[in-house]
């Protein structure tokens, strides 16, 4: 039996810790930018450093201690994990990057640091990060040499431990994904056979997805690149659920809101279970009547959800999302709208996730999926798609300009598969990739994982994307490198 880290009625304290922690990260980011742009004596730098000192003092006043620690994709301030959302993701990414590149896992503020000491820390973090052999020890040495004693630094967590954790997260994600696909299959087939699907199973599947996304969204998003042709109907629903929940998290939804959004996303195409399978899988052009039957799936979905068993309350949100997910902003989509309505934000999120996954997947009538980056570009630039531009923008910040699973050609003529968006929001076009072939086209064994935001000794980016490529043309199965 161990003592817990939280005691008493500490909800308010935790909220305060998170608030001051977030303010501190934003202040570090602002100061770093000011230092990069202006000389030290510039008013902007002085103000940013003053703000940073004040933010640090406030954080200390909450916890009487101040430690910043980075682990994986997360930042902890005094042991409290800070939440990433739209209002702070740029700062988070930059600070994560700053620590990572310097090989620093944690910085502890041992006494109140002056603006001058903060200036030294941030400058040296950036300098050490740009040095090939730079690490936490080097940073400590340089801080000591500069007479700065306010900070204690420690190295980044053991790489092997991180790899183990990452592999464990991937394994959990694979299990979640497989279970969710099986569940979706069961639900859709139940409806097809006239049986009532189990609400409990749907809830469990979504709860697990929400847990995974909240813990480590990257692994689940990576799994969406699987896109098995035979299982499209089922994997599509799971993928849309994953994208929607991850986007909802980024937008700042609470856990229970994500849960409702996830159920709605998983069930958004349930109406297709009432459309003949041969029609869904038809590879040639649809007749008018066939098209009419296909476009009935949103309202059929809504009707079907009234049958869902075991609900304490009917799944109204899922019904609305099923009904609205093909509606355009100007209501020119389908189904027909007669009464005045406002399209729900949850429907807009699912619509974006649905459009993206559908276009990037191989289907009976789409034997060649569109490249993910082209799909995002189209979603962003073509208002006739009727998607909410702000939601699309938020979706791009989630996936990056080159989303996970995109095959790219680098300026080194190497081929690489995108693993995931860069945590540094300023580096959306420089994702984490796995280089799969060298500049002459030879497959690499093993492939090399790298961050396209990393720079060489000359301070230049080591690799840059010059174009996307068709994986089929190179005989590459992108999911092999992600999963």
Site for another protein in 404-463 (CB under 8 A): 425-429
In angstroms, give the least distance from the CB of 349 to another protein: 9
Q: What is the CA radius of gyration of the chain?
A: 24
In angstroms, give the least distance from the CB of 149 to another protein: 29
Rule CB under 8 A: is residue 24 a binding residue for another protein? Answer: no
Compare residues 56 and 425 and give the one whose CB is closer to another protein. 425
Q: Which parts of 250-279 interact with another protein (CB under 8 A)?
A: 251-260
Rule CB under 8 A: is residue 387 a binding residue for another protein? Answer: no
Rule CB under 8 A: is residue 303 a binding residue for another protein? Answer: yes
In angstroms, give the least distance from the CB of 207 to another protein: 5
Instruction: Count other Cβ atoms within 10 Å, centred on residue 477.
Output: 12
Distance CA 82, CA 71 (A): 11
Q: Which parts of 96-155 interact with another protein (CB under 8 A)?
A: none
Tell me which of 46, 377, 450, 454 binds another protein, using CB under 8 A: 377
Q: Which parts of 464-483 interact with another protein (CB under 8 A)?
A: 464-469
The residues, ordered by sequence, that sit 6+ positions from 305 with a Cβ below 8 Å of its Cβ are: 267, 270, 314, 315, 318, 319, 322
Quick check: bond before 335 cis, omega within 30?
yes
Compare residues 422 and 479 and give the one whose CB is closer to another protein. 422
Tell me which of 353, 391, 415, 435 binds another protein, using CB under 8 A: 391
DSSP 99-116: HHHTTEEEEEE-SPPPHH
State which H helix or E strand residue 300 sits in.
Answer: helix 297-305
Compare residues 155 and 303 and give the one whose CB is closer to another protein. 303
Stretch that binds another protein, among 9-17, 48-56, 152-160, 236-244 (CB under 8 A): 9-17
Distance CA 121, CA 75 (A): 18
Compare residues 31 and 320 and give the one whose CB is closer to another protein. 320
Phi, psi of 449 (to 5 degrees): -85, 135
Tell me which of 30, 53, 88, 361 binds another protein, using CB under 8 A: 88
Buried b (16+ CB within 10 A) or exposed e, 190-207: bbeeeeebbbebbbebbe
Rule CB under 8 A: is residue 375 a binding residue for another protein? Answer: yes
Distance CA 470, CA 476 (A): 9
Tell me which of 33, 83, 108, 166 binds another protein, using CB under 8 A: 83
**Vertex 219, ends 213 and 223: CA angle to 5°?**
105
Please tell me the total number of residues recorded for the chain in this structure: 483
Stretch that binds another protein, among 48-56, 122-130, 275-283, 378-386 (CB under 8 A): 378-386
Tell me which of 13, 16, 18, 294 binds another protein, using CB under 8 A: 18
In angstroms, give the least distance from the CB of 212 to another protein: 11
Tell me which of 72, 335, 438, 444 binds another protein, using CB under 8 A: 335
Distance CA 333, CA 327 (A): 4
The end-to-end CA distance of the chain, in Å, is 37
Under DSSP, is residue 210 helix (H, G, I), strand (E, B) or coil?
Answer: helix
Rule CB under 8 A: is residue 299 a binding residue for another protein? Answer: yes
In angstroms, give the least distance from the CB of 39 to another protein: 24
Q: Which parts of 215-244 interact with another protein (CB under 8 A)?
A: 215
Stretch that binds another protein, among 35-43, 149-157, 303-311, 436-444 (CB under 8 A): 303-311
Tell me which of 310, 383, 439, 456 binds another protein, using CB under 8 A: 310
Contact mark string toward another protein, 313..332, x via CB under 8 A: -x-xx-xx--xx--------
Structural tokens at position 150: 């306010």
In angstroms, give the least distance from the CB of 133 to another protein: 29
Tell me which of 163, 374, 443, 448 binds another protein, using CB under 8 A: 374
Task: Assign residue 310 a region (left: φ > 0; alpha: ψ between -120 and 50; beta: otherwise).
Answer: left
Structural tokens at position 259: 């849960």
Compare residues 131 and 468 and give the one whose CB is closer to another protein. 468
Residue 399's nearest CA partner among 374, 371, 370, 431 is: 431
Distance CA 154, CA 138 (A): 10
Phi, psi of 216 (to 5 degrees): -160, 85
Compare residues 18 and 192 and give the one whose CB is closer to another protein. 18
Rule CB under 8 A: is residue 199 a binding residue for another protein? Answer: yes
Distance CA 249, CA 83 (A): 9
Strands 80-81 and 74-77 come out as: antiparallel
Rule CB under 8 A: is residue 64 a binding residue for another protein? Answer: no
In angstroms, give the least distance from the CB of 202 to another protein: 10
């Amino acid at each position: 039996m161990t003592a817990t880290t939280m005691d008493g009625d500490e909800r308010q304290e935790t909220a305060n810790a998170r608030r001051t922690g977030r303010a501190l990260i934003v202040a570090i980011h602002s100061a770093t930018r000011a230092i990069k742009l202006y000389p030290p004596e510039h008013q902007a730098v002085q103000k940013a450093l003053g703000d940073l000192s004040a933010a640090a003092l406030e954080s200390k006043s909450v916890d009487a201690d101040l430690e910043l620690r980075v682990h994986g994709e997360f930042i902890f301030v005094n042991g409290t994990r800070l939440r990433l959302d739209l209002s702070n993701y740029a700062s988070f990414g930059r600070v994560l990057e700053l620590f990572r590149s310097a090989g620093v896992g944690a910085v502890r503020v041992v006494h109140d640091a002056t603006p001058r000491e903060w200036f030294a820390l941030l400058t040296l973090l950036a300098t050490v990060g740009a040095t090939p052999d730079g690490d936490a020890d080097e940073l400590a040495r340089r801080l000591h040499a500069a007479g700065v004693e306010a900070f204690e630094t420690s190295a980044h967590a053991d790489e092997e431990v991180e790899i183990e954790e990452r592999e464990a997260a991937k394994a959990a994600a694979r299990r979640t994904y497989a279970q969710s696909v099986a569940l979706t299959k069961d639900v859709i087939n139940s409806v097809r056979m006239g049986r009532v699907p189990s609400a409990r199973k749907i809830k469990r599947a979504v709860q697990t997805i929400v847990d995974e996304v909240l813990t480590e969204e990257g692994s689940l998003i990576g799994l969406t690149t699987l896109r098995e042709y035979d299982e499209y109907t089922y994997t599509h629903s799971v993928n849309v659920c994953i994208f929607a929940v991850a986007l909802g998290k980024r937008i700042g939804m609470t856990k229970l809101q994500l849960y409702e959004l996830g159920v709605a996303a998983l069930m958004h195409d349930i109406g297709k279970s009432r459309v003949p399978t041969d029609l869904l899988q038809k590879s040639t052009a649809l007749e008018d009547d066939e098209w009419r039957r296909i476009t009935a799936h949103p309202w059929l979905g809504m009707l079907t959800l009234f049958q869902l068993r075991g609900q304490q309350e009917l799944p109204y949100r899922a019904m609305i999302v099923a009904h609205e997910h093909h509606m355009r902003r100007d209501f020119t989509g389908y189904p027909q709208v007669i009464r005045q309505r406002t399209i729900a934000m949850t429907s807009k999120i699912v619509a974006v996730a649905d459009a993206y996954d559908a276009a990037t997947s191989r289907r009976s009538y789409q034997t060649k999926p569109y490249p993910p980056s082209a799909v995002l570009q189209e979603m962003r630039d073509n208002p006739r798609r009727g998607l909410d531009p702000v939601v699309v923008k938020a979706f791009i910040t989630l996936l990056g300009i080159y989303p996970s699973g995109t095959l790219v050609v680098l300026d080194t003529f190497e081929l690489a598969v995108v693993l995931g968006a860069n945590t540094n929001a300023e580096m959306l076009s420089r994702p984490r990739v796995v280089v799969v072939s060298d500049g002459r086209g030879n497959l690499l064994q093993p492939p090399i994982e790298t961050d396209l935001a990393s720079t060489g000794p000359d301070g230049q980016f080591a690799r840059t994307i010059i174009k996307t490529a068709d994986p089929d043309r190179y005989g590459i199965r992108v999911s092999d490198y992600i999963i």
